[in-house]
Chain A
Amino acid sequence: MTVRHYEDRVVTAFLYCAVFWALLGMVAGVWVAAELVWPTIDFGIPALSFGRLRTAHTTLVLFGFGVSALIATAIYSVQRTSHVRLFAPGLAWALFWAWQLAIVLGAASILAGWTSAKEYAELEWPFDIAIAVAWVAFAVIFFGTIARRKVEPIYISNWFYGALIIVVAMLHIVNSLALPATLGKSYSLFAGAQDAVVQWWYGHNAVGFLLTGGFLGMLYYFLPKQAEQPIWSYRLSIVAFWAFVYTYIWAGPHHLHYHAVPEWVQSLGMVMSLILLAPSWATMVNGIMTVAGAAKKLRTDPALKFIVLALAFYGLATFEGPMLAIKSVNVFSHFTEWTIGHVHSGALGWNALITFGTFYFLVPRLAGVPLYSTRLANVHFWLALAGTMLYVLAMWGAGVSQGVLWLSLDDLGEVRFSFNDVMAAMQPYYLLRLLAGLAFLAGTVLMAVNLAKTFAGRPTAVAMPPAGRRA
């Protein structure tokens, strides 16, 4: 079977952009982290102001880095698991340019102050329409390739990528419903408490089907590939998949505990979040058992090390999540840095690490040469691990302190600590988080250099001929 048969240049293009957006998004993340330590380093420039830059951070890492990485790996793996060349490669290139242009203009529009103020859906209506159209193109390419497959069963990773495409389309369209007033301003079709319920149905499931489900697609293809082992239990993967798709959707209201929304929705959200632990961990167990046969390779192979560590953080984040969804825990964690710690144990430990591992796997294959430096990749591994751990520990410390101090009452039943006292107590934690971010960013820079050097070392004759002739 020949690798040259596949359309991989568009994979490479998405991969390059994913690395670029990772770097830019993390620089923005480090910058907003620094602004909480030194609040004047926006220098009075509106675009660098905390609110706008933080929104740019989340948009760049989620939709620039995350989605570019997901599309790259989906296009790569769907061809291999279907044994056919990509359907409509021209459309894939159109998707590439459209998506990258949307991220460039979208980030600029956010820095300019265009925002819908809905978390993880901040881009204004012109971008919402562009994203919906691009997403349809993604669906056509992906399902078109599957429809032409040469193998009968549709491989597991494609179920997850498929769920990503379908469910995110549904969430995006409903949550973006709005009436435009001007080019950069629209008003939500839903108001107040209704808007909140719709937003967190979207917000939680964007996390569920993009940051969790989409990346599980990545896991199910690249983990067995790199470990050179078959998936441990096929039946477990079926049960876990459908339980995941069914249960996740119900859990959104755990973002609205004790808010002005009906009590039954909150309780339902909490119960479903607890149940969600089962399919989440079933998938983790399946992954761990798959890699168990490759223990020796795990010690030497950087790609596999990243992927397995990511699996561990996936286990942590999907354990912590249901705990945070318990109302009596959420009373303390809600609105605090604890949430930020939970977010980044998932975002750094799970999403970023599995993507890094996958890129260390992919780039030597795309370039046709071995990785430029395994040592550099190992240094990156330790920087990423240290950065993630420090980030999460600092935010746990900060979040638990906030949660307890804010709710603490004295003997007369009055609040014990003023808001500003608690704010001042956060400073050491914010500084630690900044250091953690710098370590994580430094590791990512090393990876970018390593991957660029690997590409630079490829034999030019293999890379250049047009795809048609290589087929």
Chain B
Amino acid sequence: MNWVSLHHRIERNAGLLIFGILLVSSIGGMVQLLPIVTGDSHAHPAPGLRPPTALELEGRDLYIRESCGVCHTQQIRPLLAEVKRYGPYSRSGEFAWDRPFLWGSKRTGPDLARIGGRYTDEWHRLHLLDPRSVVPASIMPAYPWLAEHRADRHGTIQARMRTLARLGHPYTDEQIAAAPGALDGRTELDAVIAYLQSLGGSMKGAPQP
């Protein structure tokens, strides 16, 4: 049977067509995805990396809520200019606790993978409330409402930490119990800044390429 007559049968049988598409389209995915996703993503965290604290987690979830990641990447490529500009290139172990990953695909603003410690909290405060007060030509949006809301406005931090614990994050019951207290009196702005300051620290001293 040559391929034309084989196709003659496939295109006359909806079941065969569906099966054919499913089969042919899943090969590539299985070869590429299975070896990667079947491993334990927590098995090789970068040295010194720890899961986010309650305040940092709140900040990360706010970074997601505001979709900061459509303008900012968190991925430094192993290119000389990039390492000069942003710091040591990114290693996969640094993202072991990232759910979801926030590497981004567009640099309308600079990479933030190693922003932690580069500026003071006060700089971030001024910058997030009005970027143009510190960088006059900035096209980044202002986020005044972050200062107006208290952190964990809807009281969901424990539910979130428990969900992550179920996915393998080593949060203890004590940490989860203490979470609301850790956020008490903090604003959303404090949380975002805590998150930004936590970024990239674990590999700061890593060798350059």
Contacts and interface: CB of A to CB of B under 8 A. Distances in A.
Given A36-B108, A182-B160, A195 B70 contact: no
B98 A195 contact: yes
A86 B165 CA distance: 48
A192 B135 contact: no
A93 interface: no
Nearest to B156: A182
Interface string A141-182: 001001100001110000100110011001000000001111
A51 B68 contact: yes
Interface in A111-160: 113-119, 122, 143, 146-147, 152-154, 159
B22 A166 contact: yes
A147 B13 CA distance: 8
Contact of A335 (B4, B61, B64, B107): B107
Chain A interface: which size bin? 35 or more
B133 interface: no
Interface string B45-82: 00000000000000001001111111101010111111
Interface string A247-276: 111101101011111100100110010000
Interface stretch (A41-49, A316-324, A377-385, A435-443): A41-49
A199 B100 contact: yes
Interface stretch (A96-104, A344-352, A415-423): A415-423
Contacts of A268: 32
Contacts of A406: 81-82, 85, 107
A414 to B, nearest CB: 6
B91 A192 contact: no
Contacts of A250: 28, 31-32
A296 B144 CA distance: 59
A152 B98 CA distance: 51
B107 A336 contact: yes
A160 B99 CA distance: 34
B159 interface: yes
B1 interface: no
A39 B139 contact: yes
Interface string B92-106: 101111111111111
A236 B22 CA distance: 21
Contacts of A191: 41-42, 95-99, 101, 167
B4 A163 contact: no
Interface in B106-148: 106-110, 131-132, 135, 137-145
A424 B137 CA distance: 7
B142 A55 contact: no
B32 to A, nearest CB: 6
B80 to A, nearest CB: 7
Contact of A259 (B42, B81, B103): B103
Given A44-B142, A250-B28, A335-B73, A407 B68 contact: no
B143 A49 contact: yes
B141 A415 contact: no
Contacts of B26: 170, 249
Contacts of A85: none
Contacts, number: 254
Contacts of A231: none
A162 B16 CA distance: 12
Contact of A260 (B66, B95, B142): B95
Nearest to A209: B25
A183 B177 CA distance: 21
Nearest to A189: B167
Interface in B8-22: 8, 11-12, 14, 17-18, 20-22
A414 B132 CA distance: 27
A255 B73 CA distance: 13
Contact of B69 (A117, A167, A258): A117
B28 A166 contact: no
A197 B24 contact: no
B138 A39 contact: yes
Given A50-B70, A260-B90, A238 B81 contact: no
A185 B68 contact: no
Nearest to A181: B163
Given A179-B163, A260-B91, A414 B84 contact: yes
Contacts of B79: 258, 331, 407
B139 A423 contact: yes
A347 B53 CA distance: 41
10 contacts: A49-B143, A51-B71, A154-B17, A162-B17, A185-B156, A191-B98, A197-B32, A245-B25, A258-B79, A260-B95
Given A115-B65, A190-B100, A255-B105, 15 more contacts: A35-B141, A50-B70, A152-B12, A153-B12, A190-B41, A191-B98, A192-B94, A196-B103, A250-B28, A253-B32, A259-B77, A265-B36, A334-B77, A335-B107, A420-B135
